[in-house]
Amino acid sequence: MSNAIRATGLVKRYGSVTALDGVDLTVREGSVLGLLGPNGAGKTTVVRILTTLLRPDAGEAEVAGLDVFADPRGVRRRLGLSGQYAAVDEYLTGFENLDMIGRLYHLGRRRARERARELLAQFDLVDAGDRPAKTYSGGMRRRLDLAGALVASPPVLFLDEPTTGLDPRSRTDMWAVIQKLVAGGTTLLLTTQYLEEADVLADDIVVIDHGRVIARGTADQLKAQVGGERLEVTVADAAQLAEVSRLLAPLGVGAPVLDEHRRSMAMPVSGGVELLRGALDRIVDAGVKVDDAGLRRPTLDDVFLTLTGETTEEDVA
């Protein structure tokens, strides 16, 4: 299967600041790549370069088989972009926004209108379609913006932090919309700072920090890098944490980490449910009141914190 997006050695400097320091990435046709990183990691810069908005200082890039820098107009015909802020004209109605974009893709007057109505239906905006976008909720604006990126049914789609600023409900709605889209065969490059989002949506993940790729792989591969499961115990009385830690330390494969504030202890373990039962027996027998206990698989948050070397709250405590 060929690659719908291919970037090699992207470098972008702003004065003495290096925003991108040699980023390579490929996205297979029909797959979803999650570009993951904290604020300022360079995610948006990558998107801006691949969508022809910004020229890098070095590097090569191809989108949908076309050279991004040699044929930007050709590339623009084949991509859809939904930027970090919903680029919706709030004085226009939803319909007018989409109709305008269709005209600017040169779909023709009639086709632009048809397409606008289709997309309003697809994104559950029919009722709001003839109201100025000013009256839309954050989630509706995002959906309209995403619809705008799809006007020309582009084979390659770029979504820059599509759910930033949305409430949890709108976020899951948005995920469902995106999942439906990629099921239709669209290639998607998605940036996000939410690890859960990359976990849910992306086939492959590239983690960048300070303009460099620091890890790549599937979500499972990345989680495996951090290691196996963790035992977490939350007690009713923080004063008993030290005792819990002393009782359980022999069961762990690593040192326990305490968090006084959350009255909890976490520790890498191996041994599954049997181990969890043994651990609970030990502390309950010792008269400790347990609020919560469980085994947790590492989340992408753990992956990220491990990779970027930033200390977690637990480590500080």
Partner 1 sequence: MSALDVVVDSAVVAKRNLIKIKRVPDLLVATTLSPIMFVLLFAYVFGGAIDPTGGGAAYREFLIAGIFAQTVVFGAVITGAGLAEDVRKGIIDRFRSLPMAPSAVLTGRTLSDVVNNVLVLIVMSLTGLLVGWRINTSFLEALWGYLLLLIFAYAISWVLAFIGLLVPSPEVVNNASFIVIFPLTFVANTFVPLDTLPGPLRVFAEWNPVSSVTEAARNLFGNPDPDPNAVEPTVWSLAHPELYTLIWAAAVLVVFVPLANMQYRRAASR
Please work out the total of residues on this chain that contact partner 1, with binding judged by CB under 8 A.
29
296 lies in the binding site for partner 1 (CB under 8 A): no
Torsional sign, CA 176, 178, 179, 184: positive
Choose among 40, 53, 51: nearest CA to 7. 51
Confirm if 148 and 177 have CB atoms less than 8 A apart: no
| Burial (CB count <10 Å: 0-12, 13-18, 19+), residue 207 | buried
Residue 6, H or E segment: strand 3-14
Residue that the structure tokens 């502390």 belong to: 283
Choose among 187, 153, 218: nearest CA to 30. 187
Nearer to partner 1 (CB atom), residue 81 or residue 226: 81
What is the C-alpha to C-alpha distance for residues 288 and 234, in angstroms, rounded to an integer? 10
Nearer to partner 1 (CB atom), residue 63 or residue 279: 63
Of 62-70, 92-100, 186-194, 296-304, the window that binds partner 1 (rule: CB under 8 A) is: 92-100
Scan residues 133-152 and list those touching partner 1 (CB under 8 A). Answer: 148
What is the C-alpha to C-alpha distance for residues 92 and 247, in angstroms, rounded to an integer? 65
Using the rule CB under 8 A, which residue among 83, 94, 211, 252 binds partner 1? 83
Nearer to partner 1 (CB atom), residue 27 or residue 279: 27
Scan residues 97-126 and list those touching partner 1 (CB under 8 A). Answer: 100-101, 103-106
Nearer to partner 1 (CB atom), residue 160 or residue 209: 160
- Give the 3-state DSSP-derived string for 246-270, with helices as H, strands as E and coil as C: HHHHHHCCCCCEEECCCCEEEEECC
Choose among 237, 232, 238: nearest CA to 252. 232
Using the rule CB under 8 A, which residue among 22, 65, 132, 228 binds partner 1? 132
Residue 100, H or E segment: helix 94-104
Q: C-beta of 126: minimal distance to partner 1 in Å?
A: 20
In the shown chain, the binding pattern of residues 38 to 57 toward partner 1, with x for contact by CB under 8 A and - for none, equals ----------x--xxxx---
91 lies in the binding site for partner 1 (CB under 8 A): yes
Nearer to partner 1 (CB atom), residue 51 or residue 264: 51
Q: C-beta of 99: minimal distance to partner 1 in Å?
A: 9
φ, ψ for residue 192 (rounded to 5)?
Answer: -160, 155
Nearer to partner 1 (CB atom), residue 73 or residue 169: 73
Residues that bind partner 1 (CB under 8 A): 48, 51-54, 73-74, 76-77, 79, 81, 83-89, 91-92, 96, 100-101, 103-106, 132, 148
